[in-house]
Amino acid sequence: MLTKEGCASRRRRLWESVPADVEWLLIADPRHVHYLSNFWVHPLSFSAGERGFLLLERDNGATLLGDNLALRSSANDPHCDREIVETWYDHQHSARNRDEALVNALRQVATGLAGRPGLVETEWLPVGAWEVLPLHDVRNQPAVANGLSLGTQIRALRRQKEPDEITLLRQCMRATDAGHARAWDVVRTGISEMDVFREVQAAALAMAARPGLIYGDFRATTSKMPHLGGLPTSYRLRLGDLFILDYSVVLNGYRSDFTNTIAVGVPTMKQQETFQICVAALRAGESVLRAGARAADVYAAVSGAFTEAGRAPLPHHAGHGIGLAHPEPPIFVPESDDVLMAGDVVTLEPGSYETGVGGMRFEHNYLITETGAERLSNHRISLT
């Protein structure tokens, strides 16, 4: 989970990024409430899909707002100075519109914001909540001089991960490593994509030792259909297939994302040649990962391994950032204007999808440092 120290550091960085005369911030995106307070409704709980608001005041700390069951459903202990709890359901009376309870919690603090300039994460705030705020005191101008909204500014801060976030991401990586290791035991002719998914899921969650979400590509590609992807089906693997295992484990809202492709049977010479090009592309990308590197240059390094081998350029992004969302900046594409910074957590994922050969993709995750990158994923990259 996110630590009290980590949340305090992120709130401090946020305050430093907004104008000095702003006295309060209203955070509405559930990911950002989590990011700044450790309040997170588990997606596998009975309050899944519900949320709270976070009121930050420059001289009065952090206040979490929500209904009684949503706040009780937090998977973690929130790091806040106080909570405003609106009763929604009490096991005695009919349950009313639950969203009204959240708005009423906001109503309890809204009068105290009058006469004080503030900023609102408008991208996620419902109109009903907006209407209870002292509108004449809410700034309409952007949160910072370069034209970013408050929500966009928080997203920019998210790129540089704090130590507690890195700890969570490492836990995701270990669980994903375990799932990849299990795939080597079960991928064979006759097994269904769905059965591989179940085995990988079980191994990953056993390593995580707590509930989590698992999603991604669990699909077999063929020489005739090299572009297959997505959630598993009932299809049973056959000799000559290439099984792409590209998945994420989500724990406390943070996620991994890395890939291997396993040949069902002995890979052909053409498949082995393509695998070697993908590995070379992965290494080429790794060689330029460091703070200050241009994302477009990372793409060029990865894609260059394909063109140097006489193949077409990489047909998709060469990788991207990960954290609370997927994908996140930076994005490794030809026209990206992103620049790597220390604290970014990114993927590299070269792949090839060729009729007559099949589809394959290989991916690692990295923590960007001032001098290079630390690889966070440790799964086996191999066709066999």
pLDDT digit string, tens, across residues 93-134: 998 899 999 999 999 999 999 889 999 998 899 999 999 998
The residues pairing with 218 across neighbouring beta strands, listed in sequence order, are 245
- Evaluate whether residue 381 is within a structural domain: no
Contact 154, 121 (CB under 8 A): yes
For the segment 125-180, what is each residue's pLDDT rounded down to a tens digit?
Answer: 999 999 999 876 666 544 443 445 899 999 999 999 999 999 999 999 999 999 99
**Dist. CA 372–CA 292, nearest whole Å:** 10
> Are 242 and 361 within one domain?
yes
Helices (H), 287-383: 295-308
Compute how many other C-beta atoms are within 10 angstroms of the C-beta atom of residue 384: 12
Residues 270 and 324 in one domain: yes
What's residue 268's pLDDT? 97
Contacts of 206 (CB under 8 A, 6+ apart): 178
Last residue of a domain, one of 129, 156, 183: 156
What is the CATH classification number for the domain harbouring 282?
3.90.230.10
Structure tokens at 38: 């450790």
Q: Are residues 97 and 64 in the same domain?
A: yes
For residues 283-292, average pLDDT? 98
Task: Give 288-310 pLDDT, tens digit per residue.
Answer: 999 999 999 999 999 999 999 99
Residue 195 lies in a domain: yes
56 found inside a domain = yes
What CATH number should be reported for the domain holding residue 125? 3.40.350.10
Q: Answer yes or no: do 358 and 303 share one domain.
A: yes
Do residues 316 and 247 share a domain? yes
CA distance 176 to 314: 25
15 has pLDDT over 80: yes
Would strands 242-251 and 254-255 be described as parallel, antiparallel, or unpaired? antiparallel
Which one-letter amino acid corresponds to residue 22? V
Q: Could you tell me the two tokens for 167?
A: 């700890």
The count of domains in the chain is: 2
d(CA 5, CA 125): 27
* DSSP designation for 192: B
Q: Which two tokens stand for residue 33?
A: 């409430």
- Where does the pLDDT of residue 282 fall: very low under 50, low under 70, confident under 90, or very high at 90 and above? very high
Q: Is residue 380 one of the residues assigned to a domain?
A: no
The mean per-residue pLDDT over the stretch 238-260 comes to 97
What residues does 331 pair with on adjacent strands?
320
| 145 and 190 housed in the same domain | no
pLDDT at position 115? 86
- Would 125 be classed as within a structural domain? yes
- Do 106 and 175 belong to one domain? no
Instruction: For residues 269 and 135, give the distance between their C-alpha atoms in angstroms, rounded to a whole number.
Output: 67
373-375 and 351-354 beta bridge pairing: unpaired
How far, in Å, CA of 41 to CA of 76, rounded?
8
93: number of Cβ within 10 Å: 9
206 and 344 share a domain?
yes
Whole-number Å distance between alpha carbons of 380 and 197:
18
Does 293 share its domain with 310?
yes
Domain termination residue (choose one: 99, 130, 156): 156
Last residue of a domain, one of 102, 129, 156: 156
Residue 146: the pLDDT is: 44
234 and 315 together in one domain:
yes
355, pLDDT greater than 70: yes
* pLDDT (average), residues 33-37: 98
**Full residue range of the structural domain in which residue 64 is found:** 4-156
Could you tell me if 233 and 353 are in contact, meaning their C-beta atoms sit under 8 angstroms apart? no
Are 215 and 325 members of one domain?
yes
14 part of a folded domain:
yes
Which pLDDT band, with edges at 50, 70 and 90, does 224 fall under?
A: very high
More confident residue, 321 or 90: 321
Joined together, the tokens standing for residue 12 give 């401090």
- Domain-embedded: residue 383: no
| Eight-class DSSP state of 237 | P
Least confident of 89-98, 194-203, 349-358: 89-98
Is residue 357 in a domain?
A: yes
Q: Does 134 or 61 have the greater pLDDT score?
A: 61
Residue 140 is predicted with a pLDDT of 53
Q: Is 3 exposed, middle or buried (0-12, 13-18, 19+ CB in 10 A)?
A: middle
Instruction: Note the pLDDT of residue 138.
Output: 65
What average pLDDT does the chain have? Answer: 94
pLDDT confidence bin for 246, thresholds 50/70/90: very high
Q: Are residues 235 and 280 in the same domain?
A: yes
